[in-house]
Amino acid sequence: MTPPPIDDSQPRRYRSLFLSDLHLGTRGTQAEALLEFLREHDAETVYLIGDIVDGWRLRSSWYWPQTHNDVVQKLLRKARKGARLIYVPGNHDEFLRAFCGMQFGAIEIHDSLVHEAADGKRYLVIHGDVFDVVVRHARWLAFFGDWAYEVALWLSTRINIVRRRLGLAYWSLSAWAKARVKNAVNFIGRFEETLAMEARRRQVDGVICGHIHTAAIRDLDGFTYINTGDWVESCTAVVEHQDGRMELIDWRRHSVALGNTSQATAIAALPQRRAA
C-alpha cells in the first residue's frame, strides 16, 4: 500500500514544539540543520527550554554568524504568525532569568512552568541545571531528606552565580559525566530520577527539560521524563501531536544539511516517523 501523498510545501503542524540547548553564539551550533528543521515544523506553542543563546561563551569571544541570526528571525517569525513563544532560560542564558514572568510581544519568559498537554497530562517545563548539585550529592541528600534538597537547590544557583563572577566556567553535569565515561550512564540516570522526584513534588505527571544534551522520552514509575536533547550534537526536538502524544524527532536522520544527500529520502522517511 502506498502512503498518502504529503504536501511538502507546508510545514508539519503540531500542538507544541520543544527545543533546548541551541547554544547560539558558539561554533558548535548546528544552525543549518536547525533552520531546515524550523522550516519544516510549526506549532501553536514553541517552548525554548534554555541555553538558547550562549551568553557565557559570547562574553569571552564574540561569534555570531548570519545563520544564528536567521535562527532567531525564524523563531520570531513563528511568533508573528501567531505562535506562542515561551522562553525558559538555562544556565548559559541566565541573564534572561531577570525577566522571568515578563512578556515581550508574543514572547513570554518563565523560570519554569507547567504545560498541559491535549490529553490532560501536566508537565513541568524547566531547563534542569538547578538539579546539578542534587544529582552530584544524591546519596547524601536522600539521607537528609527534603530540607537538604531545598538547601541544595538554593546553593546550586548561588554557587554558579559566584563561579561566573570569578570568571569560572559553569559546572556542567554533562561535561563532568562525559569525562568519566564509565559513570556517565549512572549520572544521566540519576539526573532523570532527580527530575522525576521534582515532578512528584510539584504534583505533575512528567517533566520536559534539557541541559544534559541527552534526548529521551522515558517512563519512570509512572512519570514521564522528556529531554529535548540539543542542537550541538544530537539535533533533536520533541513535538506534541494534536492528541497530546509526545514524539522525539531525531533530525540527524532527515537533515540534508548534515549530509543526508537525498532530500527525497528525507521526505519519504517522514510519514513513517509520524506514525511511530
Residue 218 CB, nearest approach to Mn ion (Å): 19
List, in order, residues 6 or more apart from 201 with CB less than 8 Å away. Answer: none
Binding site for Mn ion (CB under 5 A): 51, 90-91, 129, 211
Contact predicate 194/138, CB 8 Å: yes
- Report the half-sphere exposure of 127 (CA within 13 A, side-chain side): 29
CB of 129 to Mn ion, least distance (A): 5
CA distances to 46, 88, 108, 195, 259 from 85, rounded to whole Å, are 5, 10, 6, 24, 30
Grid cell of 262 as nine digits: 537525498
User: Least distance (Å) from Mn ion to the CB of residue 104?
Assistant: 22
Q: Which of 45, 55, 157, 52 lies closest to 108 in space, CA to CA?
A: 45
Q: Considering the complex, what minimum distance in angstroms separates the CB of residue 45 from Mn ion? A: 21
Spatial strand order in the sheet of 216-220 = 113-116, 122-125, 206-209, 223-227, 216-220
| Least distance (Å) between residue 143 CB and Mn ion | 27
Smallest separation, CB 215 to Mn ion (Å): 14
C-alpha cell at 248: 522525539
Q: Which is nearer to Mn ion, 83 or 208 (CB)?
A: 208
For Mn ion, the closer of residues 20 and 224 by Cβ is 20
Beta carbon nearer to Mn ion, 51 or 240: 51
Minimum CB separation of residue 44 from Mn ion in Å reads 26
CB nearer Mn ion, residue 36 or residue 51:
51
DSSP assignment of 172-212 equals -HHHHHHHTHHHHHHHHHHHHHHHHHHHHHTT-SEEEE-SS
Q: Which is nearer to Mn ion, 129 or 192 (CB)?
A: 129
Task: State the nearest-atom distance from the C-beta of 132 to Mn ion, in Å.
Answer: 9
Which residue number, 63 or 171, has a Cβ lying nearer to Mn ion? 171
Of the pair 6, 169, the CB lying nearest Mn ion is at: 169
> What's the grid cell of residue 7?
504536501
141, three cell numbers: 541528600
Judged by beta carbon, residue 30 or residue 91, the one nearer Mn ion is 91
Concatenating the DSSP letter of every residue in 14-58 gives EEEEEE----BTSTT--HHHHHHHHHHEEEEEEEE-S-SB-HHHH
